A and B are shown apart, each in its own frame.
Chain A
Amino acid sequence: MSARFFIPGDAGAVAVGADEVATAFEAAATAKGLTLDIVRNGSRGLYWLEPMVEVETAAGRVAYGPVSADDVPALLEAMLAGEPHALLLGPTEEIPWLKRQTRLTFARCGIVDPRSLEDYRAHGGYKGLEKALALGAEATIEAVVQSGLRGRGGAGFPTGIKWRTVAATQAEQKYIVCNADEGDSGTFADRMIIEGDPFVMIEGMTISGMAVGATRGYLYIRSEYPHAVARMEEAIRTARTAGYLGRGVAGSAFDFDMEVRVGAGAYVCGEETALLESLEGRRGVVRAKPPLPAHKGLFGKPTVINNVISLATVPIILAEGATAYRDFGMGRSRGTMPIQIAGNVKHGGLYEVAFGVTLGELVDEIGGGTASGRPVRAVQVGGPLGAYFPRALFDTPFDYEAFAGKDGLIGHGGIVVFDDTVDMAKQARFAMEFCALESCGKCTPCRIGSTRGVETVDRIVRGEDREKNLVVLEDLCHTMKFGSLCALGGFTPYPVMSALHHFPEDFGATTPVLEAAR
């Protein structure tokens, strides 16, 4: 039999048994005297169905899941005989959860063999670079500006404007730095794309390098992602051998090379200037801005520092045109966002969709409610620094400005769902505790404020001078929000104040007594 089988090698699938399933398929095939062509693809992002096994048929790929190793012998039997099986999900592309998405950045993820450069090219890979080389540096930057792409790491700064600044700064050496220090709980888009489509990172960084005149790139991946590190390093070696990195990239006159650097467990290194410090070999202490990294970044040289998803989206913008991308979305949030639905949710995974979908649709319809079957009480959007939203705010559209308008943020697009057993005072305390644990220590509001915050939440919950301590907490959050050097101290008040504002009963209040910190 020559059919190809796809069993994800994605860490999320491996964590729920994909390696054992692959081994079981091989064993079952051997027992039948068959050899299977197994591709370890990325994940399609339907994590509640992982490990999801696909088989190539004359009518396209057909999916089964979630498959356990014990299911395999009978499953293979059914696949070979063309008989139905309880785990059959049907043609993969027809699964509604996947079909309703707009996959631009993640177009290839879960489909291609992430180890194969040929497969990457066969699925539209390197069309963006080809176009960029034909357009030239200036027009390439213009295309990124026109697309409306904003930094997907959370800050939402226009990517093209950043590039323009670096391009306009004269220097002998410039750098492209990709921020893959995806530390926010509830987010895994960076991990998924690096594991499932690593060549798109190389193409995106190469285009960026060509556009701004940088010849070296660093991709800083957190150490908690060993699978992503291994996959990315392998892809870089493959691309280099094939002439897509190094001198005269893809036969052009332009040189670009890059390497992976591994973080060391510091959450704050996801902040761009702390990341640069870390790359330079120092403590990940945040730098004061200005100077901007675009002027004085890595080793003091002009540096583009972009998030994984921003850079992974650049190739398709170039390949399909800025307008095609900009046509998706709402307001000033253009294009699509790979939204990650996680935590206590029935259908968790990665859902790429145009901006504008409401939080309620994401949680109730797409996510299908909680995994526990209990009512949804709160969702945290945007990682540990994002606000907790109650059901009352579920009509908020997924859009940078709309979330800011409700004292929240979309951050890197992660949504963590909690059921009605959650203790919001405990969540608020954790936000302060995490900030204290991860603070780089440079500025006082973050370093000291977070520790005082933990103590103050404890006092409030114990009912000690309650009214007075509520005022202290609000004042503390105000100081942290406006006095911290970076988003760690500056945004920790979001989860704290939103928990207090929307769920005062968990803090021992009988009536809501507080306004959110503004």
Chain B
Amino acid sequence: MNSPEPWSAARAAEIIAAQADCEGPALPILHAIQATFGFVPEAVEPMIAEALNLSRAEVHGVVTFYHDFRRKPAGRHVLKLCRAEACQSMGADALATRAEQALGIRFGETTPDGRVTLEPIYCLGLCATAPSAMLDGRVIGRLDARRLDRLVSEAQA
């Protein structure tokens, strides 16, 4: 996983300016901000509002609507387990509990050492090789207890 850059207003301004002229630029800007800094810092909201001629409340509303946009940095690794029906049919619920126990955190939380964030995801489109997971953008299918344990150790390393 690429390590995020530290917050820089100048860098954020550059990112905003690069996208501001496209049609409907808000989501592309927010994705680019998160890709750069690892999350969407609150300080960027007034900057986007200013550039797109929106109120700060509107920008805040967009940021908070979408599950993808983080309000604070994630752990060094992000482990997402699919919790949707196809994966449920193959035992995803038990794997989810196992992951929570192994990491000592609940879904949506980050381990105290800042290494791993555990998140639910609702479908990776890998439903014929369920259950599935994603570790830092890498997709994993046919997950079982053994493979999950390996993923968890990999994320904790």
Task: Judge: A and B partners, yes or no.
Answer: yes
Inter-subunit contact A185/B23 (CB<8 Å): no
Among A12, A185, A262, A265: residue with most chain B CB under 10 A = A185
Q: Is A395 an interface residue (CB 8 A)?
A: no
Inter-subunit contact B25/A281 (CB<8 Å): yes
Shortest beta-carbon distance from A74 to chain B in Å: 22
Known contacts A12-B128, A184-B123; A265/B142 CB under 8 A: no
A residues near B124, Cβ cutoff 8 Å: 11, 15, 224-225
Inter-subunit contact B125/A12 (CB<8 Å): yes
Q: Which residue of B66, B88, B137 contacts A430 across the interface (Cβ within 8 Å)? A: B88
Inter-subunit contact B129/A191 (CB<8 Å): no
Inter-subunit contact A47/B129 (CB<8 Å): yes
Docked pose: A350 CA to B28 CA in angstroms: 32
A residues near B52, Cβ cutoff 8 Å: 281
A interface residue count range (under 10 / 10 to 19 / 20 to 34 / 35 or more)? 35 or more
Docked pose: A517 CA to B33 CA in angstroms: 46
Inter-subunit contact B128/A349 (CB<8 Å): yes
Q: Which residue of B25, B28, B66 contacts A284 across the interface (Cβ within 8 Å)? A: B66
Inter-subunit contact A264/B128 (CB<8 Å): no
B residues near A266, Cβ cutoff 8 Å: 65-67
Known contacts A11-B139, A15-B141, A417-B89; A343/B27 CB under 8 A: no
Q: Which residue of B lies closest to A19 (CB)?
A: B138
Inter-subunit contact A261/B27 (CB<8 Å): yes
Among B25, B88, B137: residue with most chain A CB under 10 A = B88
B residues near A350, Cβ cutoff 8 Å: 128
Q: Which residue of B lies closest to A47 (CB)?
A: B128
Docked pose: A68 CA to B132 CA in angstroms: 18
B residues near A254, Cβ cutoff 8 Å: none
Report how many A-B pairs have Cβ atoms within 8 Å.
150
Q: Is A335 an interface residue (CB 8 A)?
A: no
Shortest beta-carbon distance from A164 to chain B in Å: 25
Docked pose: A50 CA to B30 CA in angstroms: 36
Inter-subunit contact B129/A185 (CB<8 Å): no
B residues near A11, Cβ cutoff 8 Å: 124-126, 139
Shortest beta-carbon distance from A356 to chain B in Å: 23
Q: Which residue of B lies closest to A192 (CB)?
A: B125
Shortest beta-carbon distance from B29 to chain A in Å: 8
B interface residue count range (under 10 / 10 to 19 / 20 to 34 / 35 or more)? 35 or more
Known contacts A266-B66, A281-B25; A16/B129 CB under 8 A: yes
Q: Is A482 an interface residue (CB 8 A)?
A: no
Q: Which residue of A15, A188, A265, A340 contacts B67 across the interface (Cβ within 8 Å)? A: A265
Q: Is B90 an interface residue (CB 8 A)?
A: yes
Q: Is B68 an interface residue (CB 8 A)?
A: yes
Inter-subunit contact A262/B89 (CB<8 Å): no
Contact flags (1/0) for B99-126 with A, using CB distance below 8 Å?
A: 0000000000000000000000111111
Docked pose: A12 CA to B129 CA in angstroms: 7
A residues near B151, Cβ cutoff 8 Å: none
Q: Is A280 an interface residue (CB 8 A)?
A: yes
Q: Is A353 an interface residue (CB 8 A)?
A: no
Inter-subunit contact A342/B66 (CB<8 Å): no
Inter-subunit contact A278/B125 (CB<8 Å): no
Inter-subunit contact B128/A281 (CB<8 Å): no
Q: Is A48 an interface residue (CB 8 A)?
A: yes
B residues near A285, Cβ cutoff 8 Å: 65
Q: Is A123 an interface residue (CB 8 A)?
A: no
Docked pose: A261 CA to B19 CA in angstroms: 12
Q: Is B150 an interface residue (CB 8 A)?
A: no
Q: Which residue of B lies closest to A43 (CB)?
A: B128
Q: Which residue of A278, A280, A340 contacts B128 across the interface (Cβ within 8 Å)? A: A340
Q: Which residue of A lies closest to B90 (CB)?
A: A344
Q: Is B87 an interface residue (CB 8 A)?
A: yes
Contact flags (1/0) for B53-83 with A, using CB distance below 8 Å?
A: 0000010011001111100000000000010
Q: Is B15 an interface residue (CB 8 A)?
A: no
A residues near B130, Cβ cutoff 8 Å: 342-344
Show the binding face of A for B, using Cβ within 8 Å: 11-12, 14-16, 47-48, 50, 182-188, 190-191, 216, 223-227, 261-267, 278-285, 299, 340-345, 348-350, 371, 380, 384, 414, 416-419, 422, 427, 430, 434, 438
7 residue pairs from A and B, CB less than 8 Å apart:
A12-B141, A15-B141, A224-B121, A281-B26, A282-B58, A344-B130, A348-B128
**Further contacts, 11 of them, CB under 8 A, given A186-B127, A348-B129:** A11-B125, A15-B132, A16-B142, A183-B123, A188-B126, A227-B139, A261-B27, A262-B28, A264-B68, A343-B89, A434-B122
Q: Which 5 A/B pairs are nearest by Cβ-Cβ distance?
A: A281-B26, A348-B128, A185-B84, A15-B141, A342-B127
